[in-house]
Amino acid sequence: MITLQDENLHQPGTDPDWQESFYFNWATTDESTFGLTRIGFNPASGKADAVVVTQRDGKAEHVYASVGTTVEPGQLDGPPEGGLRVGDLTYTMLEAGRSWRIQLGDRLDLTWTAFTPIVDFHHGFPGDADEIQHHFEQSGTVTGTATFDGVTHVIDGLGQRDKSWGVREWEGITGWDWIACQFGPDLSFNATRTDINGTSTPVGFVYDAGQVRHVTAVEIDYTWLAPHLPKSATLHVSVEDGTAYVIEATALGSVPLLKNKLFIEETHASFRTEIDGVVRRGVGVLEHAHHVSHLGIAKRLPRLLPVFALAKRGSNK
């Protein structure tokens, strides 16, 4: 069972693949801007990763990557109220289960505030009960500023966060679809379909009119701009009380990422659904990941190289 104490860092397990990670994203309601950030810590190696990726008007805007950074003694030992820092990226908890501040030097200063309760995903991921990865998510609002290349933009939007801790064997992950959207502070959803060690599992939640309902089934029908590059998607999402939702998503822009031969498309998207005759429109992300070979990576270099160049530029500031 997830509690507010789980906002803190946990005692690491003995498996060398044990890690703890924090993730936040945001999208402005005018559909112009999307961003995501993650800090992941692997105690066995004493290393951590910090990433920020932003998109504006359908294109990659800024990439910051501090990958395999050595964690100094005590750097991540304190309470999150004091700030969790890797490289230039700092997450500071303002209120457990409620609000965080996200800072990237003088380039990014956001306040992420939940409008849903913490939703426990623990039951939904496959694996041994003692080694399973704990995971929770929330939807929220995001406000603040982003300053890149001397231009400051006000961020006023919606977003998703998650936190996980436990064993993550990247080589055992065939792929996943992680789709999160917020229509407003009264309606949001996550629909996840994982393929881990040959086990496919649907998981997620719908927050509707103040109630959280866990997802029991997820069907995703994509159309593609290119293989594994989403153009649009139709989602059929069922929840535990039998309610079924049909949600349409349209890609606004995509940035590719690469992690341990997992090719991850981060696709900023607009969403549409109809509930009781009322059309709702929202913003969010289609995150589609799949394993690729070395040849597959080589074929995708024309899309990856501009992202690598942005990361080199953004990480040297």
**83-118 confidence digits (pLDDT tens):** 999 999 999 999 999 999 999 999 999 999 999 999
Q: What is the pLDDT of residue 78?
A: 77
Is pLDDT above 60 for 131?
no
User: Is pLDDT larger for residue 129 or for residue 15?
Assistant: 15
Q: What is the pLDDT of residue 72?
A: 82
Residues 6+ apart with CB under 8 A from 295: none
Q: How far lies 233's CA from each of 44, 99, 110, 125, 187, in Å?
A: 39, 31, 29, 23, 19
Tokens 């917020």 correspond to 182
Q: What is the pLDDT of residue 205?
A: 97
Query: Average pLDDT in the 204-210 region?
Result: 95
Query: Average pLDDT in the 46-61 region?
Result: 97
Which residue range forms the structural domain that includes residue 19? Answer: 4-315
Is pLDDT above 90 for 21?
yes
Average pLDDT taken over every residue of the chain? 92
Q: Is 307 helix (H, G, I), strand (E, B) or coil?
A: helix
CA atoms of 290 and 297, how far apart (whole Å): 11
Answering whether pTM is above 0.85, one says yes
Is pLDDT above 60 for 245?
yes
Count, residues in the chain: 317
Which 3-state string (H, E, C) describes 92-146? Answer: EEEECCCEEEEEECCCEEEEEEECCCCEECHHHCCCCCCCCCEEEEEEEEEEEEE
Is pLDDT above 80 for 153?
yes
Contact 217, 252 (CB under 8 A): no
- CATH number, domain of 302, equals 2.40.370.10
Query: Average pLDDT in the 262-269 region?
Result: 96
Query: Average pLDDT in the 49-63 region?
Result: 97
Query: How many domains does one find in the chain?
Result: 1
